[in-house]
Structure 1
């Protein structure tokens, strides 16, 4: 949520600073943090089969206390601070700590919801499931007001932005660097095999 929030804030700031419209175009998936970011756009376009939504927050982990007991393993945890061992997977779950984390996640969820409501405004057709973490296909997302219409990148550029040409700003690795890496890996592998054949150990 932190990185998504930073990007959302920056898109919002730059839109205001330069008085520019921003369009988000979804291909495969725009869920969770991706939707958090897209909510800053003026309009969101999706494919009918795109997956959109997942407006929720999760924190997962494991608990090994039962397994440790079966194996006869004793956990020795020393902390300075009553809650420093918060969510330690090798200690029994403390109910007060669990509730603390649940409240923390609920607050972050509320932040996410506020961002979506601010971004979508009156277009959002809120239901009890809107902010439950579910995802919808593109057609459903448009009907729910999570997106504005169906369209791919070329369609939005041509019909909405009226762009004469597309500029792809995707960062790509330099061809020379890519070849050097590949060549370097081949040389390294060849040296390793030759050394192994000669009985030399590489350390």
Structure 2
């Protein structure tokens, strides 16, 4: 075999290997592109489905909430959980829902469906005042508070602004009182040998500090603040309920005790026994119910799950908070 033939055969073998390598490279590239396209389609589809789900969950037209509802209806507003700023039952959320419900031309009556043990007297006061203001502007639209499991303290504060209050026979109603709880760690610190060093400008600036022993004059001052808030609470209940309170001088009516719905009825704390559907159907006369409750945004819920309010809760647990209607 000539040298030229051997060289040609060797070159052909090299070229064949090169083509096979190129073919494999191109095939791998095509397969990678196909995989990328499939994953791209998958993620685009997932994003689309997520957006559709968000639209279904939060669109007023698709979830039956808010303005623009067709036909005569009873407006429903839920008041659930702690009544406090930044919570679902904040004054901003409740008042926003109330205004939408009153301004809707098809609203025949409004139900405040309450399931709350109370909260901030300030937030409850904002809602109470706004209910009475809106009732004055829209005298033809009645407001009914319906207590589910519990409507106590700040929640009852709000309910007393309604035209009428209903509850189940086993609901817990009342708790017309004020509380402000804290802890005392003085003895614990002494056992641990820890000194508390607080620097303030103002003689009583740190009077709620749980790491220092209470002083008689500061305790008396704080009790006076709670008594003042309690008197305000009693005044708004008397204003809202009026002559329906059977015995305004009842020794335990404003003591902070709670009653069942069955017990609350003869006391005049409620006007009747019944559920939200009962009130809509039998009292308002419009069984079609439209929910006007302001819902938290997904971002708000996500933030709370991440513990965005941990510092606030810690401060509350240590007593660094105002009075509470709970």
Give the structure-1-normalised TM-score.
Answer: 0.84
Matched, 1:147 2:270: yes
- What's the counterpart of residue 134 of structure 1? 257
Matched, 1:170 2:259: no
User: Match of 1:167, SS?
Assistant: strand
- What's the counterpart of residue 178 of structure 2? 57
Residues 137-193 of structure 1, C-alpha deviation per residue, up to 9 Å, x if partnerless? Answer: 00111111000000101110011101141111234578xx79xx8xxxxxxxxxxxx
Distance (Å, rounded) in 1 between the aligned partners of 2:286 and 2:158: 23
The equivalent position to 2:166 in structure 1, one of 41, 45, 53, is 45
Distance (Å, rounded) in 1 between the aligned partners of 2:169 and 2:231: 28
Which structure carries more strand by proportion? 2
Show the 5 A alignment for 1:71-150. Answer: 71-125=192-246, 126=248, 127-150=250-273
* Structure 2: tracts of 5 or more residues without a match: 1-120, 303-326
Distance (Å, rounded) in 2 between the aligned partners of 1:139 and 1:156: 17
Deviation at 1:98, TM superposition (A): 0.5
Distance (Å, rounded) in 1 between the aligned partners of 2:145 and 2:282: 14
- What's the counterpart of residue 17 of structure 1? 137
Give the structure-2-normalised TM-score.
Answer: 0.53
Residues 67-124 of structure 1, C-alpha deviation per residue, up to 9 Å, x if partnerless? Answer: 1111111111110000101111011101101000000000000000000000111111
User: Match of 1:28, SS?
Assistant: strand
- What's the counterpart of residue 190 of structure 1? none
Deviation at 1:44, TM superposition (A): 0.1
Instruction: Give the alignment's Cα RMSD to 1 decimal.
Output: 1.6
Aligned residues: 177
Distance (Å, rounded) in 2 between the aligned partners of 1:25 and 1:93: 42
Distance (Å, rounded) in 1 between the aligned partners of 2:224 and 2:208: 14
CA distance 1:112–1:167, shift in 2 (3 Å)? same
Q: Decide which structure has the larger Cα Rg and report it.
A: 2
Distance (Å, rounded) in 2 between the aligned partners of 1:47 and 1:61: 33
The answer (yes or no) to whether the contact 2:277–2:287 under 8 Å persists in 1 is no
User: Match of 1:99, SS?
Assistant: helix
CA distance 1:42–1:173, shift in 2 (3 Å)? closer
* Structure 1: tracts of 5 or more residues without a match: 182-203
CA distance 1:26–1:60, shift in 2 (3 Å)? same
